[in-house]
A and B are shown apart, each in its own frame.
Chain A
Amino acid sequence: MSNSVQCVLCPHLCILAPGERGRCSVRLNIDGELISLVYGLPVAVHIDPVEKKPLFHFMPGIDVFSIATAGCNLKCEFCQNWEISQAAPEDVTPYDMPPEAVVENALAYGCSAIAYTYTEPVVYFEYTRDCARLARAAGIRNILVTAGYINPGPLSELSEYIDAANVDLKSMSDTYYRNICGGTLQPVLDTIIQLKESGTWVEITNLIVPTLNDDPDEIDTLARWVLDNTGSDTPLHFSRFFPMYRLMDLPPTPLDTLQRARGRARDIGINYVYVGNAVTPEGMITKCPECGKILIVRHGYMITENNILNGNCVNCSAPIAGVWDEMEEQ
């Protein structure tokens, strides 16, 4: 034995000699034992509306206690949270917040859910799982905002406690994942399917980056994959890119590109397609797929109109996919 370990949490499958840490920068081999360097030490703690995750069909309007530690197992060149996601734990001063304190704070601030978000909850797996387990026991929902780069076994353990997830499907190109994100495509697709099959409410986000993944054919491929593998009722969010991190030389995504992507995905058969990080006509509106009535109108993260009652369209009574219970209690 050499006291080397292999981390099998994510598809990188890092093999680490003593004193080495993985590509996530937060999991370290100390004398043959793998250690998490970030358990109970979030570097970001905020209260956000659930719409910011974005989740548009999961308890609209609720406040979400949102946490993140340092670290990520991808290295997306467009990352909007790169200051913490690409940081090592020692680079960012954390809060001392064990799982019990996370749940206590969520309750104290009236949050109906906790989101594991901003960076990558996969790399703080044990912290996410333990918080989620306590939250579930306290009647608080759990939201995972993730790139989905995790192996099936750990995901199975985690998804037991996860009520909703937004998975970032960055591209349908494996080359894009390798060159721009430092990962691979297939594990992400597998994660989406596994989460869906586990009963987790799933929404998907695709950040459209000019010249890199904005080809209409790729948009079509992505929308068809979503339709074929998760069904027409899975909300799909096209998100606007802004110059960030290592992609400062590209322009923001043109609004026309986002609107065309939305149109194409709807034409392919996705019922709920949204545009994020931008103001576009109908990009933030939920319509009934049966009768076309406007159901939810959002301005920014504020809901200004709601025509869903008991999970159904108030006009034609068609069931609207999602988890609506909190909204109906209000």
Chain B
Amino acid sequence: MKTVLLTLLLLAGSAFSEGDESHSTEDSTHTGLFELIMELTGSTVRSWAKPIEYVNMDRMMELIESGLVSFHKADWYAVVDDE
């Protein structure tokens, strides 16, 4: 049931996100969407997956200056409101 609801929610999200505009961030529709997603998915800890890790930002800045990584704005994310 969770999966079905999540699928419907994300499909709904895609409907809001057509076109060339970024799919990210401040859109109030997304804020509500992600709150619902978090409620449905429950735990954010998935022990079977690769870990989330901090990066050395100084090193990252060196890499972008040397052209080895790009800082290209991504799509399909939202700012999380901790409160």
Contacts and interface: CB of A to CB of B under 8 A. Distances in A.
Interface in B25-62: 25, 34, 37-38, 41, 44, 46, 48-55, 57, 59-60
B74 A34 contact: yes
Interface residues of B, number: 45
Interface string A11-24: 01111100111111
Contacts, number: 152
Interface in B14-32: 14, 17-18, 23-25
Nearest to B81: A1
B76 A153 contact: yes
Contacts of B5: none
A150 B63 CA distance: 28
B55 A33 contact: no
A74 to B, nearest CB: 8
A127 B69 CA distance: 13
- By size class, the interface of chain A is 35 or more
Contacts of A125: 74-76
A40 B48 CA distance: 30
Between A28, A33, A41, A153, the greatest number of chain B beta carbons within 10 A of the residue's beta carbon is seen for A153
B70 to A, nearest CB: 5
Contacts of A322: none
B53 A154 contact: no
B50 A25 contact: yes
A245 to B, nearest CB: 14
A277 interface: no
B69 A8 contact: no
A126 B76 CA distance: 10
Given A20-B54, A153-B11, A153-B76, 10 more contacts: A1-B81, A5-B77, A6-B38, A8-B34, A13-B41, A37-B69, A41-B68, A73-B50, A90-B59, A154-B14
Going nearest first, the 5 A-B pairs with the smallest beta carbon separation are: A153-B14, A39-B72, A23-B50, A34-B77, A34-B74
